[in-house]
């Protein structure tokens, strides 16, 4: 594998923590307003699977506040800074991101958009630009600390971020971020996040679906 291939790494998404008793907690918080039992949680946890499924199905289109009690924490690696600039706009979440002030970016890896990857001439120009920036960064670091040299680093440089979301926030994100109209890298990352969630909570898949967008009309003016 050549040096440039080494610098085009594959994104990784790992679910590192989650609410293990999610179903019982969802149903408990949903039914708190309906029950006055000291042992309500224990009673709900003993419901049979059919009753629990019926309750979950009901919650899909009704009570959403309970979804906020269910948390998922992801370790997301080898994604672009351009992606994380969009990612952290989601307010109902917690984030911790790799710092370019304290971590040196010598020989950094970077994200390559699909349209560039599939165009040999564009890819050559892109890789050459990244190499030039890496060389310039290394030269700058001979004279200044990382916090000053980082200003020339590209938007598509790879970074790592830890993020925690509740189920309601993930559900809202899924509506737009799983849509074909979403930015390519964001779609890729979010699909991996959903895969991680569904792997531990198969029942959550219906909560994480995109909005069905109508294809925009082409060639028509926006003005009447």
pLDDT at 96: 96
Task: Using alpha carbons, list the distances in angstroms from residue 32 to 20, 24, 25, 29, 49.
Answer: 20, 12, 10, 5, 19
Specify the DSSP element, H or E, that contains 162.
strand 158-166
What pLDDT, on the 0 to 100 scale, is given for residue 122? 96
Residue 195 located in a structural domain:
yes
| 171 domain-assigned | yes
- Note the pLDDT of residue 214: 43
Instruction: Provide the greatest CA pair distance for the chain.
Output: 69
Q: Is 33 a catalytic residue?
A: no
Measured on CA atoms in the order 160, 161, 162, 165, is the torsion positive or negative?
Answer: negative
CATH number of the CATH domain containing 173: 3.30.1360.170
Tokens of 203: 């029942």
Q: Of 190, 185, 189, 184, which Cα lies nearest the Cα of 172?
A: 190
The predicted pLDDT at position 213 comes to 53
Query: H helices of 141-219, where?
Result: 146-149, 167-177, 184-200
- Domain contains 185: yes
Say what the pLDDT of residue 217 is.
45
Q: Is residue 39 part of a domain?
A: no
Range of the domain at 117: 3-19+70-207
The C-alpha angle with vertex 205 and arms to 201 and 206, in degrees rounded to 5, equals 135
Count up the domains in the chain and report the number.
1
Buried b (16+ CB within 10 A) or exposed e, 81-116: bbbbeebeeeeeeeeeeeebeeeebeebbbbbbeeb
From residue 118, alpha-carbon distances to 94, 112, 113, 123, 186 in Å are 35, 10, 9, 8, 19
Residues in the chain: 224
Q: How far apart are CA 6 and CA 96, in angstroms?
A: 25
Dihedral sign from CA coordinates of 110, 116, 118, 124: negative
Asked if the structure places residue 220 within a domain, the reply is no
> Does residue 46 belong to any structural domain of this protein?
no
Does 200 map to a domain? Answer: yes
Name residue 97's beta-bridge partners: 161
Please pick, among 7, 150, 177, 181, the residue that the annotation labels catalytic. 177
CA proximity to 12, closest of 210, 195, 205, 136: 195
Q: What is the pLDDT, as a whole number, of residue 18? A: 97
pLDDT along the chain (224 residues), means of 10: 60 96 89 77 89 86 85 97 92 93 93 93 96 96 96 96 96 89 90 96 91 50 38
Q: pTM of the full predicted structure?
A: 0.86
Residues 6+ apart with CB under 8 A from 33: none
Q: Is residue 13 part of a domain?
A: yes
User: Which tokens go with 165?
Assistant: 């979301």
């Amino acid at each position: 594998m050549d040096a440039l291939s080494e610098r085009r790494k594959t994104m990784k998404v790992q679910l590192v923590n989650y609410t293990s008793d999610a179903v019982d907690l969802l149903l408990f918080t949903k039914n708190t307003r309906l029950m006055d039992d000291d042992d309500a949680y224990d009673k709900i946890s003993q419901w049979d699977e059919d009753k629990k499924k019926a309750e979950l199905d009901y919650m899909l289109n009704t009570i959403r506040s309970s979804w906020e009690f269910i948390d998922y924490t992801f370790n997301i690696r080898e994604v672009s800074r351009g992606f994380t600039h969009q990612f952290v706009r989601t307010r109902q979440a917690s984030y911790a991101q790799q710092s370019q002030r304290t971590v040196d970016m010598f020989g950094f890896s970077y994200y390559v958009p699909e349209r560039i990857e599939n165009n040999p001439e564009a890819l050559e120009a892109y890789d050459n630009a990244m190499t030039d920036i890496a060389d310039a960064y290394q030269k700058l670091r001979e004279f200044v600390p990382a916090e000053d040299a980082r200003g020339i680093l590209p938007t598509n440089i790879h970074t790592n971020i830890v993020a925690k979301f509740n189920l309601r926030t993930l559900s809202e994100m899924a509506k737009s971020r799983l849509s074909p109209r979403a930015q390519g890298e964001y779609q890729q990352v979010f699909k991996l996040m959903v895969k991680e969630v569904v792997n531990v909570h198969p029942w959550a898949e219906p909560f994480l679906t995109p909005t069905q967008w109508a294809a925009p009309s082409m060639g028509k003016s926006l003005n009447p």
